[in-house]
Amino acid sequence: MQIFKIKNGLDINYPFKPERKLIPLPVPETIGIHISDFRGIRPKLLVEEGTSIKGGTPLFNDIKDKELAFISPLPGKIKRIKRDSHYKLKLIEIDINVDLGFLEHQKLSLQDIMTLSKETALKTAKNRGFFSFFKTRPFNKVPDTNSLPKAIFINACNSAPGELEQGFILRDHLKELKTGLAFIKKITSSKIFFCVNTRKDADLYKEILQDTGTYLFTGPHPSGLTGTHIYKLDPLKEEELIWNIKATHLRTIGSSLNQGYFDATRFITVSGSNIKKNAYYQTVYGMPIKTILKHTAYNDKNSNQTINGTVLFGEKKKDKDYLSWNEDNIQTIEIKTSRNLFGWLLPEKKDEEHNNTLKGDLRSIIQTDIYDTVTPLNIYSNFLIKAILDNNLEEAIKLGMLELIPEDLALATYLCPSKIDLCQILEQGLTEAEKEL
Amino acid sequence: MKIIKKTFSNFKNRFENKRSWQIIEPVFGALDSFLLSTNHITTGKVHLRSSNNTKSMMSWMIIALIPTLIFSIYNTGLQSLIINTPSPSFIPSFLQGLKIFLPIYLTTLIVGGLWEIIFAIKRKEEINEGFLVTSLLFPLILPPSISILQVALGISFAVVICKELFGGTGKNFINPALGGRLFLFLSFPGSMTGKNIWHYGAVSLDKIDSLTHATPLYLSKFLFNSDLILNLENYGYTWNKMFLGFIPGSIGETSALTCIIGALIIITKKIGSLRTIAGALFASLLTCFLINYLCDANDYPLSSLPFHYHLVMGGFSFGLVFMATDPVSAAATNLGKWIYGILIGFLIIMLRTFNTGFSDSVMFSILLANISAPLIDNIIIMFNIKKRLKYGRR
């Protein structure tokens, strides 16, 4: 096992850390799938409003690759298909009816998987929706299965504030994880890197990772981000591809293979300023945010912003939205509207810091060196951001833009005294680059 | 407090409704965000932001300047009174210092502030708090006998040409305060150099022996063929006195002690970079040592001056702490900061020793390094790109 000590980083004090207690939630009446969770695909709808489907039935596939299916985690009746003003598919809502049952496949144990051929494994993964859990570098999108990656990074870390501790969940699911691991080894012959944050976790996975490289990343956030792991272990070179997946999602793949049908169970944390039961919850894919919040005894009187992700990096969600496919945390943050006299002059109290005000005004970049103190990559963020703002994509790519995804610059954005949103700028740059490449 | 909040929200509505009022919105906005903390909400995916902002950065910078400011007001008064009174006491000196300093400071604030407001209105932006630091730094690097008109011209040049033409704070390529001083230095050399400009009121007094009231650096250039340190002590300039700052000079530059206090604040608050200061100290030490060793003191009197004297003479400490560390005009990469600092340190000692035309060289050295900073960064970035391409081809 190789150990990497990350020095450039910062652990933000998070007062609402979820308690290590797993609370199961009942199956909801309706679930929903946001199409925007699957970045990089052009969806082609396979179902209609009103059809009854079994659990694991493909809902839509990719126009470029018809075998690449995205499935319904639970059985039910399609309630509504929502499109935006450009007629682009946005959301699929399903009324749950457990009696309809699941789409059955052959049950595959660990030994069965060992005998699978590469083609069958790839086909199984595509047809049964397992590719929805993978993300690529560069661009952080659903992989194109025609080009195989040079390496697969499995992330079993947690370093962001209040993030789900994967070891806490996976200690009871090692068998499924092992199946999943064996399965992705069948899909590609690329190198596999399994990255953990603590020695305890490394010991936990020791048994199942006998022939897989385990790498320990210690130190402050972003030691748990895949971007950091890639940079330290196998930097992304020109025209290369890397896939990454979270260990909890690998468990879903393994469990689905073992059971023979899609395992819709997932584990999330819910925490934040207005949540009473900050804890771990066992729920299903596509769960409505409002239902989750209701079970956490939340106080809906004060104004709070719900985030799918962490306060440091996550998507804003409204009560009518559904859980993101790949994001395991829900956090809430106070929306502060009051203003203090000479507030900028007084040091903020620790517990008052947790609100989503900018705590300053937008200015040009003044403190040019602060970003690199929290970015453990060989990247000059200041110059990269300026190149993107200048629309100079060639320069931005030379400066390493493709090695990054917006989350890698979240800490820099947090610290920036000029309140510049580096993540948003990087996202713009990446979108532009994706169009051109 | 409630009254303030209410008035401001009333005013805000008025700005939104009345078109004719919108022209002064930047002024109102600056005042508004100065008095009350903002409640703008994050829009992107990063929801939590640190309480670190430009306003608090600038206020720490001002806090770091306060010891220097208080001492320099006292010392300016002292140096002014010392011509006629042998040992003036603290309070009269301080009051005399205020009498000298306040007109200069107020002129800077009013003229520079007006320019800032004009540009803010034109750009429809809020007035930037960076000006508060520039307006405090600028008077501190001027000689006390400067005229108000010159101050007004200098700050106008600093704000308009050195800063706003390039887009405002954060986009300027040289330190605006130093740019303004350079303008005055080249336009009015008589008022910016010489031996008797450092005492307010001394210009008209022909009777005094002006050499005894020149700055130690100016003096040193004329002390050929002699033991420099002994000679300086004969004129009353001991190391301790120069370290504490009881010597004539630009208003704020004299005390190395208060600059060290300021440096500690700036570095612990991570506003200025330790790398720049360390680089400059290292390079100047090395250069000074080499010059001491290699040069003949008969040609260049300052070549025999030891390093610790360089530190406390002229604007070395003030320039290094408050001017060179300005994060906007310095190099932005970590390695670049070292090189930038080394360049400053090297230039200060070289120019001081071998340039007999001007008495001090700190301003030129820092401005030259400011101009070189983008080049230094570019070279480092080039190496970074090359390194990336290399692992791309491996």
Instruction: Give the C-alpha separation, B85 to B105, whole Å.
Output: 26
Please state the domain extents for chain A: 358-436
- Residues present in chain B in total: 394
Task: Tell me whether residues A424 and B53 touch, CB distance under 8 A.
Answer: no
DSSP per position, B339-354: HHHHHHHHHHHHHHHH
Give the pLDDT of residue B278.
95
In this model, does residue A336 exceed pLDDT 70? yes
Structure tokens at A250: 């690998």
**Binary contact (B46, A337; C-beta < 8 A):** no
CB contact under 8 A, B39 and A338: yes
Q: Is A307 on the interface with B (CB under 8 A)?
A: yes
| Least-confidence region, from A200-204, A389-393, B121-125 | B121-125
Q: Is A43 helix (H, G, I), strand (E, B) or coil?
A: strand
Q: What is the pLDDT of residue B394?
A: 40
- pLDDT for res A350: 54
* Residue among A161, A307, A356 minimizing CB distance to B41: A356
Residue-level pLDDT at B225: 66
Q: Report the residue from A235, A364, A399 with minimal CB separation from B391.
A: A235
Distances in Å between the Cα of B16 and the Cα atoms of B10, B25, B28 are 10, 9, 12
Q: What is the complex's ipTM, to 2 decimals?
A: 0.89
Question: What count of Cα atoms within 13 Å lies in the side-chain half-sphere of residue A366?
Answer: 26
Chain A: give the shortest CA distance to residue B130, in Å. 10
The CA-CA-CA angle for residues A5, A11, A15, to 5°, reads 145
Query: Mutate which of B4, B37, B129 to test chain A, going by most A C-beta atoms within 10 A?
Result: B37
Structural tokens at position B376: 């230094």
Asked if the C-beta of A28 comes within 8 angstroms of chain B's C-beta atoms, the answer is no
Structure tokens at A378: 């060989």
B54: nearest CB among A363, A369, A380: A363
- Cα distance from A411 to chain B (closest Cα, Å)? 9
Rounded CA-CA distance A182/A2 in Å is 22
Task: Using pLDDT thresholds of 50, 70 and 90, give the confidence band for residue A28.
Answer: very high
Q: Above 60 in pLDDT, residue A113?
A: yes
Do A423 and B45 lie within an 8 Å CB cutoff? yes
What is d(CA B147, CA B338) in angstroms, rounded to the nearest whole number? 38
Which residue among B1, B46, B332 sits closest to A421, beta carbon to beta carbon?
Answer: B46
How many CB atoms lie under 10 A from the CB of residue B51? 18
With an 8 Å Cβ cutoff, are A400 and B271 in contact? no
Contact A344 B43 (CB under 8 A): no
By Cβ distance, the residue of B4, B49, B392 closest to A238 is B392
Which residue ranges of chain B lie beneath pLDDT 70? 1, 11-23, 195-196, 201-213, 225, 391-394
Shortest CA gap B137–chain A (Å): 17
> Using the beta-carbon criterion (under 8 Å), do B45 and A314 form an inter-chain contact?
yes
CB-based contact (8 Å) between A82 and chain B? no
- A359 in contact with B, Cβ within 8 Å: yes
Q: Do B169 and A363 touch (CB under 8 A)?
A: yes
Q: Which of residues 373-402 of A touch B (CB under 8 A)?
A: 378, 380, 382-383, 398-400
Using a CB-CB distance cutoff of 8 angstroms, which residues of chain A are in contact with residue B387? Answer: 378
Summarize the confidence of residues A234-245 as an average pLDDT.
87
By C-alpha distance, the chain A residue nearest B53 is: A417
Set of chain A residues whose Cβ sits within 8 Å of the Cβ of B36: 339-343
Please check whether residue A360 touches B, CB under 8 A.
yes
pLDDT at residue B393 in the model: 47
- Chain A nearest CA to B382, separation (Å): 9
What pLDDT does B213 receive?
63
Contacts of A424 in chain B (CB under 8 A): 43-45
- A366–B393 CB contact, under 8 Å: no
Q: Which of A12, A357, A417 is facing B40, going by the closest CB pair?
A: A357
* Average pLDDT for A331-356: 71
How buried is B13 (Cβ within 10 angstroms: 0-12 exposed, 13-18 middle, 19+ buried)? exposed
Quick one: closest CA in A to B392, which residue?
A: A237
Whether residue A234 has pLDDT greater than 90: no
Q: Are B210 and B279 in contact (CB under 8 A)?
A: no
Q: Do A419 and B384 touch (CB under 8 A)?
A: no
Residue A6 clears pLDDT 80, i.e. is over it = yes
How high is the pLDDT of residue B337?
94
How far, in Å, CA of A124 to CA of A145, rounded?
Answer: 12
Indicate if the pLDDT at residue A91 is higher than 60: yes
d(C-alpha B303, C-alpha B289), whole Å: 9
Token pair in block for residue A175? 């068998």
A357: chain B residues, CB-CB within 8 Å: 37-42, 49
Task: For residue B56, give how far its alpha carbon lies from the nearest alpha carbon of chain A (Å).
Answer: 6
Compute φ and ψ for A105, nearest 5 degrees. Answer: -120, 175
Q: Within an 8 Å CB–CB cutoff, is residue A358 touching chain B?
A: yes
d(CA A353, CA A346): 12
Please judge whether B36 and A311 are an interchain contact, meaning their C-beta atoms are less than 8 angstroms apart.
no
Q: Do the Cβ atoms of A381 and A408 come closer than 8 Å?
A: no
The Cα of A426 is separated from the nearest Cα of chain B by a number of Å equal to 12
**pLDDT band at residue A351, thresholds of 50, 70 and 90?**
low
Dig out the tokens for B77 from the structure. Answer: 């008064």
Chain B residue numbers with beta carbons less than 8 Å from the beta carbon of A231 are none
Nearest CA in chain A to B8: A339
**What residues of B are in contact with residue A365 (Cβ under 8 Å)?**
170
> Do strands A58-62 and A43-45 pair parallel, antiparallel, or not at all (unpaired)?
antiparallel
pLDDT for position A358: 85
Residue of chain A whose Cα is closest to the Cα of B329: A366
Angle between helices B54-81 and B90-123 (to 10 degrees): 140
> CB-based contact (8 Å) between A272 and chain B?
no
Residue A249 has pLDDT above 90, yes or no: yes
Size of interface A-B (CB pairs under 8 A): 188
Record: contact A399-B381, CB cut-off 8 A: yes
Mean pLDDT of A382-409: 92
Q: In sequence order, what are the beta bridge partners of A269?
A: A280, A329
List of chain B residues whose C-beta atoms are within 8 Å of the C-beta of residue A230: none
Give A53 to chain B, closest Cα distance, Å: 35
| B331: nearest CA partner in chain A | A368
Shortest Cα distance from A102 to chain B (angstroms)? 36
The whole-number average pLDDT for the span A374-384 is 91
Q: Give the per-residue SS3 of A247-296.
A: HHHHHHHHHHHHHCCCCCEEEEEEEECCCCCCEEEEEECCCEHHHHHHHC
Which of A235, A335, A410 is the closest to B46 by Cβ? Answer: A410
